[in-house]
Amino acid sequence: MRKENQVIKQILDFACNEEKVRAVMINGSRVNSNAPKDIMQDYDIVFFITNIDDVSYKINQDWVNVFGELVIMQQNDFEDGSYIFLMQFKDGVRIDLGFKDINRIEEMTKEDTLSKILLDKDNIGLKLPLPNDSIHYVKKPTEKEFNEILNEAWWIQTYVAKAIWRDELPLAKYMFDVVLIDCIREILSWHIGEMYNWKINVGKCGKWFKGLLPEEIFNELVSIYPTVDYEEMWQSLFEAGKFIRKIGKELAEKLGYNYPIQDDINVTEYIQKIKILPRDATDFY
């Protein structure tokens, strides 16, 4: 596997030989001193080019071979005319290489505090602060945002319960594993944000929860993730409710908001009824 200095050299050598590329920026975890370092880290690179309407890099993609032998690649376009190549190479190196208009370089460096200029052919001389992840800090929720997520966290449990009762596994799994877990992740992010005075980055999808949460709470979170066994899913659903109640009430008190206790009571009673409802029932009662 190529070392970081080798990959950066390949990137800069290529950029130096391309007249259209005027500047190179790296951002993301490679310049985040708080991010765990391992061999799976991507290289998030931006090439700032003279004419973003020039699609030659998209039409003839032979240039990609300069960076290694591909496992797979994905190319995406954006509304502002910029585009990106997501490239996974066989030696384990992954490079996400974006192409953006050189006229947007100052704007782009302000958008992401995890940015570092590697090459500046025209001596633009942008003054950037040391890379930091402050832009990714958990933001304190407004009362409206708090209420909406807590409402969704309880509301979606009725969907999960109904799908289990109907033996609609794909729907039950989606509502639980995606929608409900997303709500729990958001609540936990706020919980951690409050713990660190809103100066903490929990990582994409809460990937750094394990190192930021007390072991007991993290283990409770892990225990919520269900299997495809319906009995285990029911148990996980009720455990999820307890978890939301525990974290949500504590967070509401610290933020000075109201925890939706009536939604909690009503939904818990409702899904308990569904759990014992015979599969061939013709009446809810």
Give residue-wise pLDDT tens across range 60-76.
999 999 999 999 999 99
pLDDT of residue 55: 86
65 and 176: one domain?
Answer: no
State pTM to two decimals.
0.83
Q: What is the mean pLDDT of residues 6-26?
A: 96
199 and 142: one domain?
Answer: yes
Question: Is residue 192 pLDDT above 80, yes or no?
Answer: yes
pLDDT tens per residue across span 221-264: 999 987 888 999 999 999 999 999 999 999 999 999 999 999 99
Q: What is the mean pLDDT of residues 212-222?
A: 95
Question: Is residue 197 pLDDT above 90, yes or no?
Answer: yes
User: CA dist 176 to 21, 114, 170, Å?
Assistant: 46, 33, 10
115 and 142: one domain?
Answer: no
192 and 216: one domain?
Answer: yes
Domain boundary among 78, 106, 135: 135
CATH number, residue 112: 3.30.460.10
Question: What is the Cα 107 distance to its own chain's centre?
Answer: 23
Question: Is residue 173 pLDDT above 80, yes or no?
Answer: yes
Q: What is the mean pLDDT of residues 47-62?
A: 92
% residues pLDDT > 70 (the chain):
100
pLDDT tens per residue across span 92-128: 999 999 999 999 888 887 778 888 999 999 998 777 7
pLDDT of residue 9: 97
153 and 87: one domain?
Answer: no
183 and 198: one domain?
Answer: yes
The answer to the question of residue 282 being in a domain is no
209 and 114: one domain?
Answer: no
CATH number, residue 243: 1.20.120.330
Q: Which domain holds residue 193?
A: 137-276
217 and 236: one domain?
Answer: yes
The angle at the Cα of 159, spanning 154 to 161, to the nearest 5 degrees, equals 90
The answer to the question of residue 281 being in a domain is no
pLDDT of residue 112: 80
Give the position of tokens 């039950």.
172
Question: Is residue 210 pLDDT above 90, yes or no?
Answer: yes
Domain boundary among 95, 116, 135: 135
